[in-house]
Amino acid sequence: MSSTETHQVETLVVGGGIAGLATALGLARQGRAVHVIERAERFGEVGAGIQLAPNAMAVLDSLGVMDAIMQDAVLPQKKRYLDAVTGEEIATIDLGPQFVERYGYPYVVTHRADLHGALLRGCRDHELVTLETDRAVTGARNLDDGRAGVECADGMIYVADAVIGADGLRSAVRPLVVDDATVPSEYVAYRGTVPVETVSAEAAQTPTVLCWLGPQMHLIQYPLRGGKLYNNVAVFRSEWYSPDHDDWGTEAELDARFARCCTQVQQAGRYLNRDIRWPMYDREPISTWTQGAVTLIGDAAHPMLQYLAQGGAQSLDDSLALVEAMVSEPSAHAAFRRYEAQRAAHTGTVQRLARVAGELFHIDGVGRALRNAAFADHDPTDYTSLDWMFMPWAKAGPSRSYPY
């Protein structure tokens, strides 16, 4: 790796998203110097709403940013699953006092930019975190002296005792660990946020996450920014998907798919930004995230489909486990092995079940009728099937039990 300029740091984080900034802030609060590089020209977060289960909130609390996030966040009192065709309720999860008592933290919905902004301010305010933008990484490798090197498109090379790849679904660091490809789901998402007063009166009442489930489609709705905005995410399977062209998941397909749905779901089409569509991909779960002084975190390690609303939460759980390992073990190599052993199997399970949840969301015919009937008598305060995923790391730890 040759270059006109080499920059040596203690710990290098590649990627300035939620996972990267949470890890940098966590390490800095433990007295570790961290340098973060981001490929974009400025730090920022795309998208709109994000759901944060108690496991995520516990991590944010440990990082000292929970109060900042709660300033504009919304605490939904229920999560309702409804049939998108008939409008009938399938099941409800009560997110009120019993839920908070069980997990120690509430279920929160917030704007991704607000979450990212709180983490970014925390990093900027800490003297042990340095931040750098406009650094497009092209690859990483382990060096003979036990350290790792990262090369950028402009020729800059970073040499670090520890390299953490937090650069997302299409990570430039991941090829050092595994040579694989993204997996297209053939589904696409359209998003949109509107002033809450523009939606139906029912939607503007008690804060609720609405999950409308229909044939090869679903719609998620909930309030944001202290209840001033309303978030809408419409997802559907394109019949015209092809890896050979980009003319799929169109507005016409969106309208056709939602035409079969009940009035409230059809009306949500007016709230969507039609200029941007988000093709949905994940990767196959892998058991190894680490090679020498390089490891992966967040979507770089385990990109998952959004159906369990755990992508961000699992990234935050990663950051907590990684920080704990790095301050406990004598070397980055040992820390990364410990971190991987604690997290890889768990996140692999979440990845796989996210796919299963998608199939359950989008089923039709007899399967749809059986799904609705199976949940008809669900107790809204029975959280036993959620503990393995929602329980904060400090309570559950690596010994958590799985219901499946």
Quick one: three-class SS letters along the chain?
CCCCCEEEEEEEEECCCHHHHHHHHHHHHCCCCEEEECCCCCCCCCCCEEEECHHHHHHHHHCCCHHHHHCCCECCCEEEEEECCCCCEEEEEECCHHHHHHHCCCCEEEEHHHHHHHHHHHHHCCCCEEEECCCCEEEEEECCCCCEEEEECCCCEEEEEEEEECCCCCCCCHHHCCCCCCEEEEEEEEEEEEEHHHCCCCCCCCCEEEEEEECCEEEEEEEEHHHCEEEEEEEEECCCCCCCCCCCCCHHHHHHHHCCCCHHHHHHHHHCCCCCCEEEEECCCCCCCCECCEEECHHHCCCCCHHHCCHHHHHHHHHHHHHHHHHHCCCHHHHHHHHHHHHHHHHHHHHHHHHHHHHHHCCCHHHHHHHHHHCCCCCCCCCCCCHHHHCCHHHHHHHCCCCC
For residue range 24-50, list pLDDT tens digits in order.
999 999 999 999 999 999 988 777 899
Residue 4 pLDDT > 70, yes or no? Answer: no
For residue range 145-172, list pLDDT tens digits in order.
999 999 999 999 999 999 999 999 999 9
Query: Is there a contact between 19 and 299 (Cβ–Cβ < 8 Å)?
Result: yes
State the pLDDT at residue 403.
Answer: 52
State the pLDDT at residue 199.
Answer: 85
190-204, 229-243, 294-308: which range is least confident on average?
A: 190-204
Task: Give residue 398's pLDDT band: very low, low, confident or very high (50, 70, 90).
Answer: low
Query: Which of these is catalytic: 103, 187, 222, 230?
Result: 222
For residue range 46-76, list pLDDT tens digits in order.
778 999 999 999 999 999 999 999 999 999 9
Task: Give residue 264's pLDDT band: very low, low, confident or very high (50, 70, 90).
Answer: very high
235-244, 298-307, 353-362: which range is least confident on average?
A: 235-244
Please state, rounded to an integer, the average pLDDT across all residues of the chain: 94
Is 222 in the active site?
Answer: yes
Residue 3 pLDDT > 60, yes or no? Answer: no
State the pLDDT at residue 39.
Answer: 95
State the pLDDT at residue 201.
Answer: 62
Average pLDDT over residues 362-387: 95
State the pLDDT at residue 1.
Answer: 45
Determine the Cα–Cα distance for residues 97 and 52; give it in Å rounded to an integer. 17
Amino acid at 166: A
Determine the Cα–Cα distance for residues 355 and 231; give it in Å rounded to an integer. 23
Question: What percentage of the chain reaches a pLDDT higher than 90?
Answer: 90
Task: Give residue 259's pLDDT band: very low, low, confident or very high (50, 70, 90).
Answer: very high
Average pLDDT over residues 330-354: 97
Task: Give the pair of three-digit tokens for residue 353.
Answer: 């079940």
Of 107, 101, 96, 109, whose CA–CA distance to 380 is shortest? 96
Determine the Cα–Cα distance for residues 374 and 368; give it in Å rounded to an integer. 10
State the pLDDT at residue 117.
Answer: 96
Average pLDDT over residues 305-327: 97
State the pLDDT at residue 54.
Answer: 98
Determine the Cα–Cα distance for residues 44 and 150; give it in Å rounded to an integer. 22
Query: Is there a contact between 216 and 257 (Cβ–Cβ < 8 Å)?
Result: yes
Of 59, 70, 5, whose CA–CA distance to 29 is shortest? 59
For residue range 191-223, list pLDDT tens digits in order.
999 999 888 666 666 799 999 999 999 999 999
Instruction: List the beta bridge partners of residue 343.
Output: none
Of 157, 159, 57, whose CA–CA distance to 107 is shortest? 57
State the pLDDT at residue 270.
Answer: 92
State the pLDDT at residue 321.
Answer: 96
- Which class does domain 6-181+283-392 fall in? alpha beta
Determine the Cα–Cα distance for residues 401 and 220; give it in Å rounded to an integer. 29
Average pLDDT over residues 259-278: 94
